[in-house]
Chain A
Amino acid sequence: MNKKTPLYEKHVSLEATIQPFAGYLMPIKYGAIKKEHMAVRESVGAFDLTHMGEFRVTGTDATAFLDKLLTNDAAVKNGKAYYSTMCYPDGGIVDDLIVYRIGDQEYLMVVNAANLDKDWAWVQSHLQGFDIKVVNESDDTALVAIQGPRAQEVCVKLTDSDLDSIGYYEHTTGKFAGVDALIARTGYTGEDGFEIYMKYPDAVTVWDSVMEAGKEFGIIPVGLGARDTLRLEVGYPLYGNDIDHSTTPIEAKLGWVVKLKTDKPFIAREVLEQQKAEKPGRYLAGMEVTGRGIPRHGTPLYSGDRKVGIVTSGTIAPALGKAVCLGYVERGFQKRGSELEAEVRGKRISVKVVKLPFYTQGSRK
């Protein structure tokens, strides 16, 4: 039985294409994916992301606990957030997540919906020895994202909090559309924007207020389809496609969230340290398609007759008007300008490794 978010009836009345995703009936698109994508690039769009999982960590050892569990450094200031991977002892990725530091002894972990049960079990299995409490708030926390260059103009109408004082990857708690919310300048689109966390019963109020406040900017609801093309256009990895247990953050070019400069002994530290020093056999690379076709998850990559990699995500990039993909390639081939071939429907098409992000005009601050 799939769960419904508190905004499910909204999606139905908007005639969204609704599909089960990670145990929730989620809107994939409301009309055309490209139109939703371009609304976020050019103005503003609203997303229901209630399927995401939220774990609240509190207690005197909250920082120490996260420093053990996650590869990035939890010692950020209150009101800041950080992106991190969470790894198995072998360096494979359990999940990637955002952590908001609410207070000296309080954090909110936001995890991928598809990994919720696995993550919860992983967190539970590491509690011993820490003076903390972890609460799974996923079933009563709703998330509405407002993303795009005009997102702030929409949100400023709905809160007394000073949005100018909230930088990228910062947040505050306050009233939003009259309800209690966590207001964060975070997102997964490459654009400026906010993610608003609230309790389930308040979600409809927030959604309706956002749509009303955004009317003058042409706000439209955006489904998970465009969420995927938006993130891919800026080269953000997606768990389950581009990263998983079989890949490490070093291979995935997420070394920047593996904090080896501190002396904190997090899970997989030695393995990742060694891999970084010795260099992994493959890297995640971004490729532009110069031939005709769209490589997709699982498409093989060749250099001449030799298979040298595999595509993990691919799409048409609506804001660029060409196809792009991410994929793992043997070390050496990840260098910018590397020319490879993807086998699409039995035919070879040319792809070229480029610098990420593919789309560089984003309004992200």
Chain B
Amino acid sequence: MSSIPENVRYTETHEWVRKDGDRYLVGLTDHAQHEMGEIVMAELPEVGAEATKGDAMGGLEAVKTAEDFFSPLDGEVVAVNEELEANPSLINEEPFEGGWLFAVKASDDSQYDGLLTAEEYKIHIGE
């Protein structure tokens, strides 16, 4: 069983989103990191890049697979997790904490409320 904390929202593409002051942190869910296996490289967006809900913001390389990740919200990328450059396995080890990917300043906060709840995400992944 994957860890599916209730204090974050989810996307169907397996990102989690957490409100963090006036920005939102975005990461990969525990379920998704487990499916991908050991992540060995994280290609992150540029700070200042425009974020469009549903658009690919970067990619993750695991030993056997590669997956893009997507912005859950419209807005602007205001920070990226630079720790991942040296230590991409943080995404596997602490998907909801040290393994966050990027932070977005949303242009429409109401989009957050439209994201999946933990309960809905659980159903989405069939757990």
Is there a chain A Cβ closer than 8 Å to B43's Cβ? yes
The distance in angstroms between the C-alpha atoms of A63 and B59, with both chains bound, is 52
Q: Which residues of B lie under 8 Å from residue A316 when comparing CB positions?
A: 40-41, 61, 63
Please, which residues of chain B bring their CB within 8 A of the CB of A34? 38, 40, 63
Q: Which residue of B lies closest to A294 (CB)?
A: B61
Q: Closest Cβ of chain B: how far from A295's Cβ, in Å?
A: 10
Q: Are B37 and A29 in contact (CB under 8 A)?
A: yes
The distance from the CB of A81 to the nearest CB of chain B, in whole angstroms, is 30
For B43, the chain A residues whose CB sits under 8 A away are 292-293, 345
Tell me if A315 counts as interface (CB < 8 A to partner B). Answer: yes
**CB of A310 to closest CB in B, whole Å:** 17
Say what secondary structure dominates the interface of chain A. mixed
| Contact (Cβ within 8 A) B41 A294 | yes
Residues of B within 8 A of A33 (CB): 37-38, 63-64
Contact A292 B41 (CB under 8 A): yes
B66 contacts A by Cβ under 8 Å: yes
A71 contacts partner chain B, Cβ-Cβ < 8 Å: no
Cα distance A32–B43 in the bound complex, in angstroms:
21
Q: Which of B41, B59, B63, B68 has the most CB of A within 10 A?
A: B63
Cβ-closest chain B residue relative to A315: B63
Interface residues of A in 341-360 (CB under 8 A from B): 344-345
A170 to chain B, nearest CB (A): 33
Chain A, residue nearest B39 (CB): A316
Of the candidates A29, A229, A345, the one whose C-beta lies within 8 Å of that of B66 is A345
Task: Check A185 for interface membership: any CB of B closer than 8 A.
Answer: no
Please, which residue of chain A has its CB at the minimum distance from the CB of B40?
A316
Instruction: Please indicate the chain B residues that have their CB under 8 angstroms from the CB of A293 in the complex.
Output: 41, 43, 59, 61
Cross-interface CB contact of A294 among B37, B56, B66, cutoff 8 Å? B66
* Residue of B40, B59, B64 touching A225 (CB-CB under 8 A): B64
A229 surroundings in chain B (CB, below 8 A): 63
C-alpha spacing A344/B66, complex, angstroms: 10
Question: Binding site of B, secondary structure by majority: helix, strand, loop or mixed?
Answer: strand
Most buried by B among A34, A293, A294: A294
Chain A, residue nearest B34 (CB):
A17
- A16–chain B nearest beta-carbon distance, Å: 13
User: Within A176-230, which residues are at the interface with B (CB < 8 Å)?
Assistant: 225, 228-229
Q: Mark A12-54, 1 if CB is under 8 A from B, else 0.
A: 0000000000000000010011100000000000000000000
- Proximity string of chain B (38-64) to chain A, C-beta cutoff 8 Å, 1 when within and 0 when not: 101101000000000000100101011
* Docked CA distance A315–B62 (Å): 9
Given the complex of chains A and B, what is the CA–CA distance between A296 and B61 in angstroms? Answer: 10
Q: Which residues of B contact A296 (CB under 8 A)?
A: 66
With a cutoff of 8 Å between Cβ atoms, the chain A residues found around residue B64 in the complex are 33, 225, 228, 315
CB neighbours (8 Å) of B56 from chain A are 345
Q: How far is the CB of A342 from chain B (nearest CB, A)?
A: 12
A-contact bits for B106-125, CB 8 A (1 contact / 0 none):
00000000000000000000
B26 CB to closest chain A CB (Å) equals: 18
Measured CA separation A229–B40 after assembly (Å): 13
- As a 0/1 sequence over residues 64 to 96 of chain B, the CB contacts with chain A under 8 angstroms (1 = contact) are 101010000000000000000000000000000
Q: Which residues of A contact B38 (CB under 8 A)?
A: 32-34
- Give the docked Cα–Cα distance between A26 and B38 (Å): 19
Q: Which residues of B contact A318 (CB under 8 A)?
A: 63
Closest-CB distance, B50 to chain A (whole angstroms): 16
Instruction: List, in ascending order, chain B residues with CB within 8 A of A228's CB.
Output: 64
A5, B66: Cα distance in complex, Å: 30
- Chain B residues with CB under 8 A of A345: 43, 56, 59, 66, 68
How many whole Å from A131's CB to the nearest CB in chain B? Answer: 47
Give the CA-CA distance A41 to B30 in the complex, in Å: 30
A288-329, CB < 8 A from B: 292-294, 296, 315-316, 318, 323
Q: Return B42 CB to nearest CB of chain A, in Å.
A: 9
Per the bound structure, the CA–CA distance linking A350 and B56 in Å amounts to: 22
The CA-CA distance from A53 to B92 in the complex, in Å, is 36
10 nearest A-B pairs in the assembled complex, by CB-CB distance: A316-B40, A33-B63, A294-B61, A345-B59, A32-B38, A34-B38, A316-B63, A225-B64, A33-B38, A292-B43
Residue ranges of B at the interface with A (Cβ–Cβ < 8 Å): 37-38, 40-41, 43, 56, 59, 61, 63-64, 66, 68
20 example contacts (A-B, Cβ-Cβ < 8 A) are as follows A33-B37, A33-B64, A34-B40, A225-B64, A228-B64, A229-B63, A292-B43, A293-B41, A293-B43, A293-B61, A294-B40, A294-B66, A315-B63, A315-B64, A316-B40, A316-B41, A316-B61, A344-B66, A345-B43, A345-B68
